[in-house]
Amino acid sequence: MRLDEYASHDGTGLARLLAAGEVTPADLGRCLVEAVAKTNPALNAVIELYSDALEALPRAAGPAPFHGIPTLTKDFSIEAGRPASFGSRLAQGFRPETDAVYWRRLRQAGLANAGRTTSSEFGVAAATETLLYGATRNPWDTSRGVSGSSGGAAAAVAAGVVPFAQGGDGGGSIRNPASFCGLIGLKPSRGRITGSPGAVAPLMGLATGFLLTRSVRDTAALLDACHGPDAGDGYEIAPPDGTYLEAIAKRPKGLRVALCTRSWSGLPIDAEVLAATTAAAARLEALGHRVEEASPDFDYGAFLHAQKIIWAADAAAGMPAMAARMGRPLDESTLGPTVLAAYRHGLTLNAAQLIEALAVYDRVTRQIGRFMAGYDLMVTPTSTILPEPIGAFDPDRAGLDLDTVFDDLAPKETFTALFNATGQPAVSLPLGRSQGGLPIGIQFVASFGREDLLLAVARQLEEELEGGRGIWGQGVPAIHADEPASPGRLGEG
């Protein structure tokens, strides 16, 4: 298989070739290695490839539905025995002893973990720029960033290195990288993807693992393969009616849609982002859905204050355990300023403050749930800004405190972090491009547990946009496995 052929297929397309015996997993592994060699010098998205995993790829199709497709995982605890440095000098060399259960399910469905991608340090900053690995660059414009924390995964998928890659989302860390790189980025409902063998859902319920993709059918197939509780989970989300692949074959009609372009944080929304969001709503109207401008009412200041407490408390609890495990101090020699600020603030908190913060989240969840009772979908920008220049929100600059950390997060988390709190499913879809050729993602939100509806609407939109070159007819980035190697900036339409 030629590299250009490999890079032109989504995962479902590659799986069909594998099942037909037209290619082998080993062929795909060779293409992956070539794609990394071609794109990674410009992007710095892939930390390493696992030579033993690549050598073990078979010369015949493996188990369905993915039949041996090699992919990449984030620099977090995903697979037993593989390095997981969390983008941090503190955890460098750490290797988990157990698999994430949902990853084990994906592996049983035929995926092979062939390497790991860059992340922001411990997933805190919304910029994939670390003291450990440096900055990851955007395939559409290498002077720009990829957001975070699943930035390396997004860059690798957008550049054609893999058809999809694993990531995680605790405040927008799948959706914002997807937006910045022109991908599909789903954050499933809380509990849809088990956090086992740790929590039901990590970060006190805010975070979930999943994957960034190029197609809705891949998103649906991956969710089918890995969703569901594990034995011992404290609660179990209701299973879907049927499969997600079946859901995307249905064309939703007459949905009630709330278009929200009111910035909850008060930050301005870039004019091109705003235009792309209203254009997405117009697409829905053209498909027969009923759109009206509406926004839920909630106290964003109280919500943000609670988020700071929860994240800081999590850092205060987690960092000492990692330091003890690795035999390293907790100071400037091991942690960057962003994570250190969260950790140190967490040490000042008491149990009552954490309980109060969780109560704020409960109250906001009720308010958003009541609002969504009147609508099938909410549509918002994913990020308030276009992909920013590298270093614009440098997470390792001097003088950071927790308020500054969250000021840096705000342009990207204004519309995303809320749904980590409420647990509702949300997806960023590649529906816009700036005049300069940069991707603009639009966020779609459904009621709790309704990934089926989100994916059905996403497929409805995809049907109108697919057929051209690249993901949803966007063209391909300047840095891409199917393009001559160059340091170019703007994508080819």
**Active-site amino acid positions:** 74, 149, 173
CA–CA gap between residue 437 and residue 479 (Å, rounded): 13
Distance (Å) of CA 25 to CA 18, 162, 384: 7, 13, 40
Compute CA 24 distance to the chain's CA centroid, rounded to the nearest angstrom: 28
Residue 349 tokens read as 């908190």
154 neighbors 181 (Cβ within 8 angstroms): yes
